[in-house]
Amino acid sequence: MEITVRGLLTMIHGMGFGALYLLACMGAIVELGRHYSPAAETPPTAKDDAFLRAYLLGMIALAWFAVLTGAYIIYPWYRAVPPPGTADLAGFPQRLLMGSPATIGWHSIGMEWKEHVAWLAPIAITMAAAVFMKYGRNLRRHPELRSAVLSFVLISFVAAGIAGFFGAMLDKHAPVEGGGTIQLMHGEQP
């Protein structure tokens, strides 16, 4: 059971940071909606505040790690240009996708959208977290700010979801592979 270095880093980018961020978005929406609504039966405690602060800081880290590893580690491998005359494009995902009318859309629409829309997620969640850090429990007294924070977390989720969907589909049609090989486990002989 082997995995390439590029495959492992792509998995960490997509599943470690991206997918975990998507899951975390739902938790933030529920928590903000449940505890910080002006109509909430039980007002948030200092412990709730501290928890959500740490949670949102974690989300900021996940979102920025996802886009930065995507843009500066995975994307250069994705867009690498093969030497002239290269017949096997397996190590050059962008060129592999562009080589067939059946797959070119995954690059020209999928990757082109993903590489830009993904950045809206960390911007939006950083804003949402900053507003929460500033106001905390006082958000109950600022329903407009609370609605804005919730809206931005939701849009951040949508942006990350678009990027995640196309990331998964791109990796399905033209996986980023290469580099060294890591032996994970030895299977049983048949």
Partner 1 sequence: MNAKTASTSHDSAQPSNGSGAAAILAAGIGSLMVALLAIAADKWAGLKNMMVFYKPTGPLSGVTTCAIAVWILMWVILEMRWRRRTVAVTRVTTAALVLLGLSLLLTFPPIADLF
Residues found near partner 1 in the complex (CB under 8 A):
67, 71-72, 75-76, 79, 108-109, 112-113, 115-117, 119-120, 123-124, 126-127, 130-131, 134-135, 138, 141-142, 144-145, 147-148, 151-152, 155, 158-159
Please identify, using beta-carbon distances, which residue of 51 and 75 lies nearer to partner 1: 75
Half-sphere exposure of 29 (CA within 13 A, CB side): 14
Whose tokens are 């449940």? That residue is 34
Which residue, 34 or 141, has its beta carbon nearer to partner 1?
141
Closest contact distance (angstroms) between CB of 188 and partner 1 is 41
Tokens 């991206």 correspond to: 18
What token pair was written down for 51?
Answer: 């928890």
Kind and range of the H or E run holding 4: strand 2-4
Q: Is 141 exposed, middle or buried (0-12, 13-18, 19+ CB in 10 A)?
A: exposed
CA–CA gap between residue 26 and residue 64 (Å, rounded) = 18
Distance of closest approach, residue 79 Cβ to partner 1, in angstroms: 7
The nearest distance, CB 131 to partner 1, in angstroms, is 5
Q: Which is nearer to partner 1, 147 or 184 (CB)?
A: 147
Nearer to partner 1, 83 or 187 (CB): 83
